[in-house]
Structure 1
Amino acid sequence: MAVCEQVRDYLIHEKLNNALNMPISDLAKLKEIQINLDLAETMGKLQGQLNPRAIKKVHVECAGTMDEAKPAALAFLKGLLNDRIPDRVNYINAETLAIELGIGIEHSYTSDCGSYTNLIRTQVTGETDCTEIHGSVFEGNQIRLVNILGYEFDVTPYGTMLFTRNNDVPGVIGKVGTMLGKANVNIGAYLLSREMNDGEAFSVIRVDNPVAENILNDLQDLPEIISVQQLHC
C-alpha cells in the first residue's frame, strides 16, 4: 500500500515521498538536494535538445557537497527524455524508459569539484558525438551552467537561448545583434567564451522570445557563424 501511495503522489502531485527509484531514506536530505535535482533535470532538457538522434550512453558525475549521484542521474534522465517520449516521464520510470531506448546509464561521485563547492558533470554519447554540460548550485540556491561543450561559462539557464559557435573574428556580436534586432528579437544577455584557443568562440545568447526558423537560417548563413541552435529550458 505504501508503494502504491508513493507512485500515486508522484504521478499526481510530483511529490518526492521517497519514490521507488530514489535511493534516499532521509526525506530531509531529499529536500536539501532538490535544487541540485532541478539543475540536473535542466541539464537533461538541454542535452536532449543537443542530441535529437539516438543516444548510446549517459554519464552523470557528482562532485563536492553534492554526493547523491543516483538521484541526480534520475533527474537528468527525466529531463533528457522529456521531449523524446510522448508519455509522461518521472523519477519512477525514467531509468526504465532509458534502458528500453537502449541508453546505457552510468553515475558516479568524485571529491574533485574544481573551484566549486558542488558540481554535476553530464556527458551524453550519441552515434557520432559526445556532448558535455556541467552545472553548479551557487550561494542562495542559484543554479548555473559552468561549462558548455568544453567552454567555461556562468549561465543562469532559463527561457530561450541560442548556442552559437563562430570564428573568433571582430564584428560577429554586432552582426548577430543587428540581425536579431531587425527581427524584433530582444537580447537579454550575450555571453561569450573563448576558452578553447582554437580560433573559435562560443556564445550563449538569451532572448526574450523564441526566434523564427527563417531568422535562425539567416544567422547560420553569416560567413562567420559555424553553427547556431535554439534551446528552451
Structure 2
Amino acid sequence: MAPRVLISDKISTAAVQIFKDRGVEVDYLPDLGKDRDALAAVIGGYDGLAIRSTTKVTSKVLADAGNLKVIGRAGIGVDNVDLSLATAKGVIVMNTPYGNSITAAEHAIALMFSIAREIPAADHSTQEGLWEKNRFLGVEITGKTLGIIGCGNIGSVVADRAIGLKMKVVAFDPFLSPERAVALGVEKVELEDLLARADFISLHTPLTDRTRNILSAENIARTKPGVRIVNCARGGLLDEAALREALDSGHVAGAALDVFLVEPATENVLFGHPRVVCTPHLGAATTEAQENVALQIAEQMSDYLTRGAITNAVNFPSISAEEAPKLRPFITLAERLGSFAGQLTDSNISRVRLTYQGEAARMNMRALTSAAVAGLLRPVLAGVNVVSAPTIAKERGIVVEETSSDAESDYDALITLMVEADGTQRSVSGTVFADGKARIVDIKGIKVDAEFAPSMIYVANEDRPGFVGHFASMLGDAGINIATFALGRATQGGDAIALVQIDGTAPDEVIERVRALPMVRQAKPLAF
C-alpha cells in the first residue's frame, strides 16, 4: 500500500508532482492547517504531513496521528511543531535548512544597506516631494565591522557576502570550530567582544533558552555607540522595549527587523520610530526559495517513506538512501542486542557502551546506537522508539557511549553492547551474516551462535553433565517444542549458557522449574 502524505499549508504545487513521481499518494489541502480541529480529524489517515509555518502540530493533532511517521517543514524553523511529543511518538521531524539560506542572507544584507543609507525613509520623503537631500546622511559599510551572532547555514552566507563588501566580520557561535572560522574568513570571538567591536550586528541563531533575549537590555548597553542591528532570524532574540529605548537615546543608530516577538505583528513598540525598518517576515520570501524548500521537503519525505532515507531530521541522525538498505539489518541487530540485555537486566541501568568493529565501525553509528538504546529500554518503558530513546536515556541519567575498534574479529562486522547496572556489567555481541539475519555470537565472553527468534529461553548455568537432558526433558514434559538449541561455555565445568528457540511461549511455572534445577543460575524467557 502506497504511503499517504497531507500538505496542509500553501507550498509550491511542484511538490505534489514530486510525491506522485516517487510513488507517494498526496492530498493538497493548503487551508487545512488553519483549523486544528479539522486537521486532527483527518491526520490519522496519513503517513506524512508537509507544512510551512501556518500549521501548528500540537499535542491534539499528534494524539490522533496514529499512522504518522514523518513531519516535513518546508523551511528552517520547527517552532510550530511539538518536537518533544513528536519525538516521543517516534515521528521523524525534517526541515530544509539550506533551501532558503541564500534568500534569508540576502534579506539581511538588504536590511543592513537600508539602515546604513536610510533608504525607506528617503524613499518616502522623496515621493512626498520634499527632496530632503541634507536630511539623510548615511554611513558606508566598507571597512566596518559586522558582528554575526550565529554563524551556521545562513550566518555563514551573510559572512561571505559581507567579506565581499570589504567588511571585517567577527562571529560569536559556540559551535563554530576554529578551523571553520578560518575557512569562512571570520574572526571567532566571545559575545562580549563582539558587542564592543561591531558597527553592525546581525542575528542568525535559532530561538532557544540560551539565545532568548541574547540582545537583552544589558547586552544592548554593552554595544558600541552608534551600532546598527539587524534581526532576520527569530523574534525573541532581542528585547524590543530595550531596543526602543536605545534608539530613543541615540545609542543605537538604527535597527531593521524582519521578525518579531509576536507575529503577525500588527502593533509593536518599535513601529513608527524614524530609524527603524520593518518587514513582515520576508526572509524566505522569494520565488526561488519557495520553490526550493517545497521540492526539497517533498524529496526528503518521499525518500524516507519509500526507502528509509533520513535527511535533515532535527530529532534523528541522517541516513542516506544509499546506506539505508545496508544499514537496515544492522539496526535490527542493534535493537535486538539492546532488547536481549534489557530483558536480562533487573536493576537500574547506569551506563551503556556500544562498540563497533569491522564494517559496523564504518556505518552510521548514531543510528545504530539509537536503535540499541530503544531495544534496551523497551522492556521496562512502553512506547520507547528509536527516535525518542536517546532523549529518554538522558532524562533517566543513563550514560550512553559509543566507540569504534580496529581490533581483529572473527566477523566482518561486530556490534558489542555492554550494560552496567548496580556495579555489574553484562555484554552481548552480534553480527549479521550474508543471509541478512542477525545473530548472537557472544554473551558475557562465552561464544554462542544463535539467531534471534520470537520466543526464546535464556539459561545461565554451571557446565555439568546431565543439564541438557534435564532441561530438554522438562520442556518436553510441558509440551514445549524446541526449534533450535545453542550452547556455549567458558571452560569445562565452568560457566555455561543455553539459548533455546521454542514454539509458542513458556508458562511461568515452567521457567520456575528450570530455575529450580541445581546447576541453573538464571533462567529468563525472551521475546523478540
**Which fold has the larger relative contact order, with Cα–Cα distance below 8 Å and residues 6 or more apart in sequence?**
1
Task: Give how far 1:17 is off.
Answer: 4.1
**CA, structure 1 residues 187+53, in 2 after alignment: closer, same or farther (shift >3 Å)?**
same
Report the Cα distance in structure 2 between the residues aligned to 1:143 and 1:207, rounded to whole angstroms: 18
* SS of corresponding position for 1:217: helix
**CA, structure 1 residues 78+113, in 2 after alignment: closer, same or farther (shift >3 Å)?**
farther
Q: Would you say 1:55 and 2:349 are equivalent positions?
A: yes
* SS of corresponding position for 2:71: helix
Task: Give how far 1:119 is off.
Answer: 0.7
Residues 76-115 of structure 1 correspond to what in structure 2 (within 5 A)? 76-86=372-382, 88-115=383-410
Q: Is the Cα–Cα contact under 8 Å of residues 10 and 17 in structure 1 kept in the other structure?
A: no
What does the per-residue CA deviation read over 1:5-48, in whole Å, with 9 as the maximum and x for residues that have no partner?
28699639995441434433522213321110110001111111
| Residue in 2 that maps onto 1:43 | 337
What does the per-residue CA deviation read over 1:151-193, in whole Å, with 9 as the maximum and x for residues that have no partner?
1011101122111122222111111111111110111112111
Deviates more, 1:3-12 or 1:94-103: 3-12
Report the Cα distance in structure 2 between the residues aligned to 1:135 and 1:168, rounded to whole angstroms: 23
* SS of corresponding position for 1:90: coil
Q: So what's the TM-score if we normalise by structure 2? A: 0.41
| Residue in 2 that maps onto 1:72 | 368
Q: Would you say 1:153 and 2:448 are equivalent positions?
A: yes
User: Aligned pairs, how many?
Assistant: 232
Deviates more, 1:53-62 or 1:186-195: 186-195
**CA, structure 1 residues 25+179, in 2 after alignment: closer, same or farther (shift >3 Å)?**
closer
1:129 to 416, 421, 424: 424
Report the Cα distance in structure 1 between the residues aligned to 2:91 and 2:315, rounded to whole angstroms: 14
Q: Is the Cα–Cα contact under 8 Å of residues 309 and 318 in structure 2 kept in the other structure?
A: no
- Larger-gyration structure (1/2): 2
Report the Cα distance in structure 2 between the residues aligned to 1:69 and 1:85, rounded to whole angstroms: 23
Q: Would you say 1:202 and 2:269 are equivalent positions?
A: no
Report the Cα distance in structure 2 between the residues aligned to 1:208 and 1:163, rounded to whole angstroms: 14
Deviates more, 1:218-227 or 1:20-29: 20-29
Q: Would you say 1:193 and 2:499 are equivalent positions?
A: no
1:4 to 50, 71, 93: 71
Q: Is the Cα–Cα contact under 8 Å of residues 309 and 319 in structure 2 kept in the other structure?
A: no
Higher strand content, 1 or 2 = 1
Identity of aligned residues (%): 26
What does the per-residue CA deviation read over 1:26-72, in whole Å, with 9 as the maximum and x for residues that have no partner?
22213321110110001111111111321101011111111222111
Report the Cα distance in structure 2 between the residues aligned to 1:20 and 1:26, rounded to whole angstroms: 15
Q: Is the Cα–Cα contact under 8 Å of residues 144 and 157 in structure 1 kept in the other structure?
A: yes
Q: Is the Cα–Cα contact under 8 Å of residues 191 and 204 in structure 1 kept in the other structure?
A: yes
Q: So what's the TM-score if we normalise by structure 1? A: 0.90
| Residue in 2 that maps onto 1:232 | 527
Unaligned runs of 5+ in 1: none
* SS of corresponding position for 1:80: helix
Deviates more, 1:170-179 or 1:222-231: 222-231
Task: Give how far 1:198 is off.
Answer: 5.5
What does the per-residue CA deviation read over 1:67-115, in whole Å, with 9 as the maximum and x for residues that have no partner?
22211111101111223223x2223221000111110010111222511
Unaligned runs of 5+ in 2: 1-50, 53-69, 74-85, 93-300
